[in-house]
Amino acid sequence: MSVLTKNQMTIKALETKIRDLEGQLYLNPVTRCPNELSLKNEIQQLSARESFVYSFLLILTVDNIYGIRQDFDPTVADEHLAAIASHLKSSVPDPEHIYHISDHSFAYLHCCEPVPEYEPFAEKLRLSFEDSEAFIRPTTVSIGGIRFSECPDKISHGPSLSTMALGEAFNRLKQSKIRGSNRSTLTNSMSMTNENILRVLIVDDDPLQLEFIRQALLNTGFKTDIALDGEEALNLASKLFPALIIAEYSIPKLNALRLKRTLDENPYLRNIPILLMTRMKSAELVSQAMDLQIYHILEKPLVPREIEGLCRYLIHANTDSTNNGL
C-alpha cells in the first residue's frame, strides 16, 4: 500500500469520525432533538435497509409561533418549542427519530416496525396537537409528508435521495400552508397554481392609498389582498403566501421593518420581497431597510406606473427562489 492511499485512508477514517462526532454534537440546544443534517444522514443510510419500502417522512411546522414571539419573552417561545418536541416524542412510536430541522419545523422519520397506516397516522398526529392542553397557547401544526415508496428507483439509492425526499415533503407542507393553517398534505394531489404566485399583499392604514395601489394593479393580472396593520399583514402573509408585499413604513402595531424582521424568522416567508413606502425617506430609514434586505423604497406621493412596473419586476425576479421551497 502506498503512502498516498494510506493517507487517503486516514483522511477517510477521520472524516467518518468527524461525521459521527457531528451527529452527536448536532442536537438542538432547546429541544434536545437532532437537526436537519442528522436527518439527511439517517435518510441516506435508510436506503440500504429493508425497512425502506414502508418508511415515511413527515414534516411538521408550528402555525402560530409568531404570536407567541410577539406577545411573550423569547424564553417563553423556547419553552413552547420544547413542549412541542416532548409532545411529539410522546405521540410517535419511535421518539428517537424526531428531528428539529429549522426554527419551528420538526420532522418525524418512521423506519421501524410496527408500521402504522400512513395517512390516518399523520392525521391523528395533527389532531393530537389541537386536543393537547400542554401548551401556553392553543397550538396547531401543518404537515407535509412523503412515503419513500413513492420515490423513483433511480433516486432511491442515489445520493440525492435525502434532498429529494425533504424537498418533496417541504413542497407538500407548503401546499398545506397555502390552503390555510392546520392542514396536512400527504400525497401529490395538488399542484402549485399561478394564482398563488401572483398574489400581492398591500399594507397601509390609509384606505385611500390602498385603493390607489389596488387600482394601479387592477389590470395587471395580480391578485391583491389588503391589510390595515402590521399584525393583520403578518397573519395574511402566513396564510396566503403572497408573491410580494407592498407596505407603508409606519403602520399600526408592527411597523414595516419589524414586520419584515418577523417574516424573516419563517423560512417560507423569508423570500417574499418587500416594497417599502414612506412619506419621508431618510438616510437612517434606508440603511435600516437595506440591512433587512428591503431594496426598494418609494416615497409618497407614488407614481402608479412605477408601482405596477416594480411589482412585475420583483415578482418575476423572485419566482425562481420562491419555487425552491426553502
Partner 1 sequence: MDYSTILDITWFFSGLILVMVLLNIFQSDGKAHQREILSESHKFLTGEISPAGRMSKFLKMYLDVTDRILLNEKANTSIRSVMTRSGRIDTWKQNLNAKTAVKRMRAALYLGHFGTAAEALALSERLETESSRIVIIYLIYALSRLRFAPSLPIILEKAIRATAEDQLRIAGLCQNFGPDFTRLLGRRVENAKKSEIPFYLTAARFNLSLELTLLLTEQAKTGVWPMRRDAAQILLEKAPHILRKKSFLDHTDHDIRALAYQALASQPTKENLTLLHASLTDTEARESAIIACSTLLRKKPEFLPESIALFMKTPDEEMKKSLARVLAFRLELFLQNLANEKGGIYKELVTSILRQGEFSTFIEFLNATKDPDLLSTLLDLTQALIPELPGFDRELQHYLNEDLLKRIGLKRPELIPEKRNLKKEQITFRLLLGGLLIAFLTFPLIFTVLHLGLIRDHHWLQFIKTFIVQFNYLMVYYSGTLNGIYILITIFSIFGIRKQLRHWSLKTAHFLSRPGMLPSITIIAPAFNEEATIIESSNSLLNLKYSNYDLVIVNDGSRDSTLNTLIRHYDLHKIDLKLRETIKTRNVRGFYANPGHPRLLVIDKVNGGKADSLNVGINISNADYVCGIDADSLLEPEALTKIAANILDSEIECVAAGGNILPVNGCSVSRGHLDRIGIPRNPIAQFQTTEYLRAFLTSRVGWADMNSLLVISGAFGVFKRRRLIEIGGYLTSSGKFQKDTVGEDMELVVRLVRHMHRYGRAHKVQYSVLANCWTEVPESLKILYRQRDRWQRGLLDILTFHRKMIFNPYFKEAGMIAFPYFILFEGIGPLIELQGYIMVILAAIFGLLNGKIALLLFIAAIMMGMVNSLLALYASGLQRPLFSLRDKLRLSIMAIIENIGYRQLQLYIRVAGYINSLKRPKGWGTMVRKGIGAS
Q: Which residues contact partner 1 by CB under 8 A? A: 70, 73-74, 205-209, 211-212, 215-216, 229, 231, 250-255, 279-280, 282, 284, 288, 300-304
Distance from C-alpha of 151 to C-alpha of 158, rounded to nearest angstrom: 11
| Residue with smaller CB distance to partner 1, 1 or 208 | 208
Nearest-approach distance from CB 275 to partner 1, in angstroms: 15
CB 68 within 8 A of CB 76: yes
Nearest-approach distance from CB 3 to partner 1, in angstroms: 43
| Residue with smaller CB distance to partner 1, 44 or 288 | 288
Nearest-approach distance from CB 252 to partner 1, in angstroms: 4
| Residue with smaller CB distance to partner 1, 93 or 304 | 304
Please, is 291 exposed, middle or buried when counting C-beta atoms within 10 Å of its C-beta (0-12, 13-18, 19+)?
A: exposed
| Residue with smaller CB distance to partner 1, 179 or 258 | 258
Show the cell assigned to 106: 420538526
| Residue with smaller CB distance to partner 1, 146 or 227 | 227
Task: For residue 201, count other CB atoms closer than 10 A to its CB.
Answer: 23
Nearest-approach distance from CB 276 to partner 1, in angstroms: 14
Cβ neighbours of residue 74 closer than 8 Å, sequence gap 6 or more:
none
Q: Which residue has the cell 404570536?
A: 67
Cβ neighbours of residue 299 closer than 8 Å, sequence gap 6 or more:
277, 278, 279, 280, 281
Nearest-approach distance from CB 249 to partner 1, in angstroms: 9
CB 103 within 8 A of CB 265: yes
Task: Enumerate the β-bridge partners of residue 195.
Answer: none
| Residue with smaller CB distance to partner 1, 240 or 302 | 302
Nearest-approach distance from CB 118 to partner 1, in angstroms: 42
Task: For residue 255, count other CB atoms closer than 10 A to its CB.
Answer: 16
Distance from C-alpha of 241 to C-alpha of 219, rounded to nearest angstrom: 21
